[in-house]
């Protein structure tokens, strides 16, 4: 099987000062041995609480953070350690939509210039900028007549559509959506997800859809990867992971999903805080919060265990 994106044992570690006066440094293992594959025309949802490393993982794939170890292949070609020029060329195929639709759009540029900037840079303008801009706006469900307007004249949902138009303008293979709908109202979220699904069908796009919200991810992803303190603790097809979660952390996330018309039970909330990645608990990082922890969990890190329909990282399945 040919994969669009192959990530193998990827690590992104940071060295930071441990307090202003101590002079000592500490290592933060933001991404700590992550592996997964993504096929063309598929979506991998990456979920976990804030601080689990999912944004650092996306930024590493985009070349915005330096990987410490591991390998990433994009269409079979190595993606890490590219020169700036090589990475610039690669960015045509690898685009991103960030969470904040306000700060990611230049307030002094009109929409036409924003969404055709990449086409101009890569010499892909055939016909006029106006024609391209009108077509792209129509593709993301905005009025073609709006091409001369500025970002502040649009709502949050419309601004995210502009971001998406810019991301798909270059006809990329992969779009990394980093909390792309998190700042939007629930009804607007659903519209933007539908737009992403339509664009995927039309242009055979793949998405790495990063979100803290498993409910949102389940509406768009073919596969789900659950991250905890830099590691993927469970990965598999969305229906299997949501319908029958194996890892105790995934079970906790699913139990905490709101059910329409029902009040969440107190016991069903995600309990405890995520520990600091600078000082993760020994053994299984999840053991201080895990209701199913056994003695071995406190001092031995679990291996990745391949089950029939998923991979899970937990001693209960060894």
Site for ligand SF4, rule CB under 6 A = 247-248, 284, 286-287, 290, 292-294, 297, 302, 314-316
Shortest CB 287 distance to ligand SF4, Å: 4
Compute the least distance from the CB of residue 310 to ligand SF4, in Å.
Answer: 14
Smaller CB distance to ligand SF4: residue 157 or 280? 280
Q: How far is the CB of 275 from ligand SF4 (least distance, A)?
A: 13
102 vs 142, 152, 157, 163, 183, CA distance in Å? Answer: 17, 8, 10, 10, 10
* Calpha distance 156→188 (Å, rounded): 9
In the complex, the smallest distance separating the C-beta of residue 236 from ligand SF4, rounded to whole angstroms, is 16
Q: Find the shortest distance in angstroms from Cβ 305 to ligand SF4.
A: 10
Give Cβ neighbours of residue 17 (< 8 Å, ≥ 6 apart).
Answer: 23, 24, 25, 26
User: Minimum distance between the CB of residue 46 and ligand SF4, rounded to whole angstroms?
Assistant: 19
Count of CB atoms situated within 10 Å of the CB of 76: 9
Min separation Cβ 243 and ligand SF4, Å: 19
Judging by DSSP bridges, how do beta strands 310-312 and 305-306 pair with one another? antiparallel
- Report the DSSP beta bridge partners of residue 46: 210, 225
**CB closer to ligand SF4 out of 299 and 309:** 299
Residue 41's beta-bridge partner residues? none
Nearer residue to ligand SF4 within complex by CB, 240 or 251: 251
**Residues near 45 by beta carbon (within 8 Å), at least 6 away in sequence:** 209, 210, 211, 214, 217, 218, 220, 221, 223, 224, 225, 238
How far apart (Å, rounded) are the C-alpha atoms in residues 117 and 98?
A: 17
What length is written for the chain? 318
Q: Shortest Cβ distance from residue 298 to ligand SF4 (Å)?
A: 8
Which residue number, 265 or 294, has a Cβ lying nearer to ligand SF4?
Answer: 294
User: Does residue 228 sit in helix, strand or coil?
Assistant: strand
Of 118 and 302, the one with the shorter C-beta distance to ligand SF4 is: 302
Task: Pick between residue 81 and residue 292 the one whose CB is nearest to ligand SF4.
Answer: 292
Residue (216 or 297) nearer to ligand SF4, CB:
297
Least distance (Å) from ligand SF4 to the CB of residue 145?
54
- Comparing CB distances to ligand SF4, the nearer of 118 and 280 is 280
Q: Give the separation between CA 164 and CA 193, rounded to whole angstroms.
A: 11
Judge contact between 122 and 170, C-beta under 8 A: yes
- Which residues lie below 8 Å from residue 110, measured CB to CB, with a gap of 6+? 147, 148, 149, 150
Q: Which CA distances in Å does 48 have to 59, 160, 214, 233?
A: 16, 22, 8, 10
Nearer CB in complex with ligand SF4: 255/316? 316
């Amino acid at each position: 099987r040919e994969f669009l994106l192959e990530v193998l044992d990827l690590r992104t570690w940071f060295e930071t000062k441990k307090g202003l006066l101590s002079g000592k440094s500490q290592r933060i293992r933001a991404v700590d041995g992550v592996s997964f594959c993504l096929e063309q025309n598929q979506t991998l949802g990456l979920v976990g609480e804030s601080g689990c490393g999912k944004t650092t993982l996306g930024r590493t794939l985009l070349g915005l953070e330096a990987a410490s170890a591991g390998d990433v292949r994009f269409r079979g070609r190595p993606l890490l350690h590219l020169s700036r020029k090589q990475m610039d060329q690669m960015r045509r195929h690898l685009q991103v939509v960030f969470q904040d639709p306000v700060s990611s759009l230049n307030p002094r540029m009109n929409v036409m210039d924003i969404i055709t900037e990449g086409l101009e840079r890569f010499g892909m303008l055939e016909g006029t900028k106006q024609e391209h801009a009108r077509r792209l706006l129509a593709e993301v469900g905005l009025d073609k007549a709006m091409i001369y307007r500025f970002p502040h004249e649009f709502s949050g949902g419309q601004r995210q559509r502009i971001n998406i138009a810019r991301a798909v303008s270059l006809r990329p293979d992969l779009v990394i959506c980093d909390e792309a709908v998190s700042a939007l109202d629930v009804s607007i979220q659903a519209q933007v997800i539908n737009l992403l699904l339509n664009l995927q069908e039309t242009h055979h796009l793949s998405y790495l859809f990063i979100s803290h919200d498993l409910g949102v991810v389940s509406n768009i992803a073919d596969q789900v990867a659950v991250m905890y303190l830099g590691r993927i603790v469970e990965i598999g097809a969305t229906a299997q992971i949501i319908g029958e979660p194996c890892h105790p952390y995934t079970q906790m996330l699913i139990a905490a999903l709101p059910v329409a018309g029902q009040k969440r039970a107190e016991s069903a909330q995600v309990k405890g805080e995520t520990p600091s990645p600078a000082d993760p608990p020994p053994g299984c990082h999840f053991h201080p919060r895990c209701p199913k922890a056994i003695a071995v969990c406190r001092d031995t890190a679990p291996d990745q265990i391949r089950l029939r329909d998923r991979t899970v990282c937990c001693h209960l399945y060894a």
